[in-house]
Chain A
Amino acid sequence: MLSSTADNLYWLARYMERADFLARAIEASRRLAALPKAYGGADSEWESVLLSSGASSAFEATGKPVNESNVIEFLTFSRDNPGSIRNCIEFARTNARAVRTALTVEMWEAINGAYLELKAMEARRGAYSSDELGRFLEFVKQTSLTYDGGAYRTMLRNDAYWFSRVGLFVERADNTARLLDVKYHVLLPEKELVGGSLDYFQWSAILRAVSAHTAYHWVYRTSMKPWLVADLLILRPEMPRSLISCYESIVRNLDNLARAHGRQGAAQRQARSTYGKLETLTMENVFQGGLHEFVQSFISENNKLGALISEQYLF
């Protein structure tokens, strides 16, 4: 496969996944921000979503105050934010156009249809009502579902598929890690107890954001405990967005590529090493070192994998 095609497929998958994540992160923040003051809402939700999506310095550059409407605008439709949902979908579509020959009709129609709808929404939108925002976020999640489903059901299982999957899971691992960090950035007021009602609502909002609320109860059959939420999103192989599950997929898809190409490389070694670490990790280790610190180091290791993939496959 052309290196440029692999590159485009990889980034296409990442942009689609990122748009989905942003929609989910915004939903989580809305849920947190909607908590009654009686529960001690801390007003840091909008700061936190910027931090966790990696957009805070870009936002600072706009000079605007951090509040709900500014942050939502910045993350959804802003053209100034290279990582806004709007731009993610447009970049994804640009990549898709460049590699149309490698996509199935279903995938192309999903992404092209979404792009056209997005342009229409952009043209007719005024100030966002809460309902409209809800519908928009739903549209973004649907788009990602349709696209991903199309890929899963219609693509030949060859290098085009494997590069797409690697892109998707590298991005998803990054996103899950960032989502865990939302909780770190949403400061619990000092008088609040860890495990108190505010803490409970915050964790539960995060779980809902990744549609894992029900899964939590199936797996643990107990009330919300921070370390169990972290356990679910980091170490549970049966949870499809957990870091370990993402890495299991990354390793498998990189191995498929290695088999097809007849050679292993630095990317495979890096992925396997991260996967190995996750396999032997316990939640005790994580909380001893600090969840935030763990997340930060995971994100940088994951970035390193991304760089090694580009290098090995000549993107």
Chain B
Amino acid sequence: MDLRVTQFDEMGGADGATRFPYQKLAQWLAGVPTELLASRREQAELLFRRIGITFAVYGAQEATERLIPFDILPRIIARSEWSALERGLVQRVTALNLFLKDIYGAGEILRAGKVPAELVYGNPGYCPEMAGRRVPHDVFVHIAGVDIVRTDDHGFYVLEDNARTPSGVSYMLENREVMMRLFPDLFAMHRVAPIEDYPDELLATLRSVAPPRAGHDPTIALMTPGQYNSAYYEHSFLADKLGVELVEGRDLFVKDDIVYMRTTEGPRRVDVIYRRIDDDFLDPLTFRPDSALGVAGLMGAYHAGNVTLANAVGTGVADDKAMYTYMPDIIRFYLGEEPLLQNVPTWRCREPESLRYVLDHLDELVVKEVNGSGGYGMLVGPHASKAQIEEFRAKLKANPDNFIAQPTLALSTCPISVAQGIAPRHVDLRPFVLQGAHGVRVVPGGLTRVAMTEKSLVVNSSQGGGTKDTWVIDDAIMGAA
């Protein structure tokens, strides 16, 4: 597998001939005056600002609430391509879940020597509190966001698994809303698979894992750290769409291992909490005593089986970038199948041979901290200065276990609308995978993130990346001219 091929554009292909999913869009673009695109861009910005879809940036004065840049051209994936991706996602998340159940239970994969035990037990995401515990219906990962990239026509690679509390689904939904307002004609031309049922699917997922005693109408709440959290907009948006209460720690209390919300009519029992706060902050009695975000006694109620937390506690161990490298083995071990989605080839710096290779090729590789996220704590070799490379070399030698390395990928590009017309920019994709008591589901689409500056590979919203709507369209529609 050679990942360093010439750049692949999802509309123009590698050779500049329009790829099949984009044919209608290309025709439409050819006939559209630049002014129209410019005016739609302005409208989109206005809509986002008015609705208040913002993203809070820590530490950035004056810009504590920022709009994520939005590109008005859709990213288009054919149904046939999507179906393959979907099967791979279902397989991967199923395996991830079995893995979590195993490592907090029997630990068979560790005894089989497929994954080093110290990598699990020494992992900061591993939660000793969960050892030997069962969770309702054995579901740990209720909501996963798997980051996907492509480098050529032949398929998708997994860049990262997000099994803790992946965010961005509100942008997926709002992007679609805005696009439907701006380009009704484009929707009429394409048969775009709907994603609007995501909140219903999410609610059904959460209901399906309620403790048995909750009965047919469990009380569900979405727990947020509060309005200064970067994803607060998403938390309130989702609570609204789900029709459940948005709670902070101070709205909840635990008595006799039962969780209650404080309401104007007195205490009300809570059965399922979709929590968007990290493990460490959930319960000051169990985890960080200095945290005011959580609820004292929540873990007691959780272990007593009186409340379900989604995602389960301790899922972070599967997010880890070192664990990622074992995913193909994890899939084989639990499912007895070959992985449908490829990992990006990865060197584990904990292995001496790999470390030697990485140290020799630092200027070609991307080196990441195993627990880093949001594009922080990484070295992009080809774009780094000599000093930065030397600094990383020292870090690597001091603590090789803490790093992995990957080739600099020739990430695919998609066209975006800019002042001068249309230009290619690098993209990735985060589809959202739901897992309840009755199986695994993916809505057809996801959040496409775009590096807004030319040649940049950084798509993270915390670093100025933007988003665009992601369309899954029927193959049949493309043949007809």
Chain A residues within 8 Å of B, Cβ to Cβ: 1-6, 94, 97-98, 100-101, 105, 108-109, 112-113, 116, 159, 163, 257, 261, 313-314
* B239 and A101 contact, CB distance less than 8 A: yes
Decide if B240 is an interface residue (CB 8 Å cutoff): yes
Contacts A6-B264, A163-B264 given; 19 further ones with Cβ under 8 A? A2-B245, A2-B247, A2-B263, A3-B251, A3-B262, A3-B264, A4-B248, A4-B250, A5-B245, A97-B52, A97-B227, A98-B226, A100-B236, A101-B240, A101-B246, A109-B51, A261-B264, A261-B265, A313-B264
Decide if B438 is an interface residue (CB 8 Å cutoff): no
Interface membership of chain B positions 236-256, coded 1 if the CB is closer than 8 angstroms to chain A and 0 otherwise: 110110000111101100000
Which chain B positions have C-beta within 8 A of A3?
A: 251, 262-264
Which chain A positions have C-beta within 8 A of B227?
A: 94, 97-98
The answer, among A94, A108, A116, A159, for a CB contact under 8 Å with B264, is A159
Which chain A positions have C-beta within 8 A of B226?
A: 98
Q: How far is the CB of B294 from chain A (nearest CB, A)?
A: 16
Residue in A2, A105, A261, A313 with the greatest tally of chain B CB atoms within 10 Å: A2
Q: How far is the CB of A120 from chain B (nearest CB, A)?
A: 11
* A101 and B263 contact, CB distance less than 8 A: no
* B263 and A108 contact, CB distance less than 8 A: no
Decide if B50 is an interface residue (CB 8 Å cutoff): yes
Which chain B positions have C-beta within 8 A of A1?
A: 263-265
Decide if B49 is an interface residue (CB 8 Å cutoff): yes
* B50 and A314 contact, CB distance less than 8 A: no
Residue in B226, B246, B261 with the greatest tally of chain A CB atoms within 10 Å: B246
Give complex CA distance A51, B17 in Å: 75
Which chain B positions have C-beta within 8 A of A261?
A: 264-265
Which chain A positions have C-beta within 8 A of B263?
A: 1-3, 314
Counting from the closest, the 3 A-B pairs by CB-CB distance are A101-B240, A313-B264, A100-B236
Chain B residues within 8 Å of A, Cβ to Cβ: 49-52, 226-227, 232, 236-237, 239-240, 245-248, 250-251, 261-265
Q: How far is the CB of B252 from chain A (nearest CB, A)?
A: 10
* B49 and A116 contact, CB distance less than 8 A: yes
Give complex CA distance A1, B248 in Å: 14
Which chain B residue lies CB-closest to A115? B52
* A2 and B240 contact, CB distance less than 8 A: no
Sample (23) of A-B pairs whose CB atoms are under 8 Å apart: A1-B264, A1-B265, A2-B261, A2-B263, A3-B263, A4-B251, A4-B262, A6-B264, A97-B227, A97-B232, A97-B236, A100-B236, A100-B237, A100-B240, A101-B245, A105-B51, A109-B50, A109-B51, A112-B50, A116-B49, A159-B264, A261-B264, A314-B264
Number of A-B contacts (CB under 8 A): 54
Which chain A positions have C-beta within 8 A of B52?
A: 97, 108-109, 112
Give complex CA distance A6, B265 in Å: 11
Which chain A residue lies CB-closest to B267? A314
Which chain A positions have C-beta within 8 A of B250?
A: 4
Which chain B positions have C-beta within 8 A of A109?
A: 50-52
Residue in B49, B226, B227, B263 with the greatest tally of chain A CB atoms within 10 Å: B263
Which chain B residue lies CB-closest to A7? B264
Which chain B positions have C-beta within 8 A of A105?
A: 51
Which chain A residue lies CB-closest to B50? A109
* B251 and A113 contact, CB distance less than 8 A: no
Which chain B residue lies CB-closest to A314? B262
A94-B227, A97-B227, A116-B49 as given contacts; A2 in contact with B236, CB under 8 Å: no
Give complex CA distance A3, B226 in Å: 15
Q: How far is the CB of A36 from chain B (nearest CB, A)?
A: 45
Residue in B50, B239, B250 with the greatest tally of chain A CB atoms within 10 Å: B50
Which chain A positions have C-beta within 8 A of B51?
A: 105, 108-109
Which chain A positions have C-beta within 8 A of B262?
A: 2-4, 314
Give complex CA distance A257, B232 in Å: 29
Which chain A positions have C-beta within 8 A of B240?
A: 100-101
Q: How far is the CB of B17 from chain A (nearest CB, A)?
A: 44
Which chain B positions have C-beta within 8 A of A116?
A: 49
Give complex CA distance A4, B245 in Å: 11
Q: How far is the CB of B180 from chain A (nearest CB, A)?
A: 16
Give complex CA distance A113, B248 in Å: 26
Q: How far is the CB of A82 from chain B (nearest CB, A)?
A: 19
Q: How far is the CB of A155 from chain B (nearest CB, A)?
A: 14
Q: How far is the CB of B158 from chain A (nearest CB, A)?
A: 34
Which chain B positions have C-beta within 8 A of A314?
A: 262-264
A100-B236, A101-B239, A261-B265 as given contacts; A2 in contact with B251, CB under 8 Å: yes
Q: How far is the CB of B255 from chain A (nearest CB, A)?
A: 15
Q: How far is the CB of B148 from chain A (nearest CB, A)?
A: 31
Q: How far is the CB of A246 from chain B (nearest CB, A)?
A: 22
Which chain B residue lies CB-closest to A260? B265
Which chain B residue lies CB-closest to A105? B51
Which chain A positions have C-beta within 8 A of B239?
A: 101
Give complex CA distance A109, B247 in Å: 22
